[in-house]
Structure 1
Amino acid sequence: MNLPAVVTALVNTQNNFDSVAFAKCFTETAVVFDEGKTHNGRKEIENWISKANEEYQATMKPIEYSETEQTVKAEVLGNFPGSPAVLTYRYEFEEGLIQSLQIV
């Protein structure tokens, strides 16, 4: 699967539970929408993923990518009800980084 470089980096940092490197995949003004909550800016995104890593220990394995839709479907495995689950990650990119991410 030929993922954008920043998405590959995001997956690798998630699977290594590296919240700082994960947040660096985003622009300074990026927005993440997950579980009905909005996380604004790189620092808030870092705090969100750090807490999620601590609580869920979730890893992701991309299983499908759509360049036209800018989506990745991934199998997510962790300490949460319904694990493993297939989630869809919808991206918007800006200058090689993620500007927006919606997880559904």
Structure 2
Amino acid sequence: MNLPDLISAFVKAENDYEIDAYVACFTPDAVVFDEGKNHQGRNQIKTWKEETNEKYHTVMEPIEYSGYDDMGKLSAMISGTFEGSPILFSFQFKFADGLIQSLKITN
């Protein structure tokens, strides 16, 4: 699948458990919404990602991507140590300055 460079970097960092590379995909004041909670700023995003990596040990397999300049949507099969694995998740992105400004993760 041909993904934009930023999304490819995001997926690679996710699957390689590279927390710093993952966080570098986001603007300094970015917001991630996951499991009913907002995580704002790179420090909170880093803490959230460390916790979810430890808890779920996820692997992301991109299925479909659509988007334009400031928005994108990635559908990906996520497997890990959680009930119902694997599950198809939707990652809705808003971009600013070539980075992720917001990310909403739903299933």
RMSD (Å) for aligned C-alpha atoms: 1.0
Q: TM-score, normalised by structure 1?
A: 0.95
Partner of 1:34: 34
Q: CA deviation at 1:2?
A: 2.5
Q: Deviations over 1:24-59 (max 9, x none)?
A: 100000000000000000111011001100110001
The alignment partner of 1:70 has SS state of: strand
CA distance in 1, matches of 2:6, 2:39: 19
% identical aligned pairs: 45
CA distance in 2, matches of 1:92, 1:67: 10
Which structure 2 residue ranges, 5 or more long, are not aligned? none
Q: Deviations over 1:55-96 (max 9, x none)?
A: 100010110111156100000010001100000000000111
Runs of 4+ in 1 over 3 A off after TM superposition: none
Partner of 1:10: 10
Aligned length: 104
Q: TM-score, normalised by structure 2?
A: 0.93
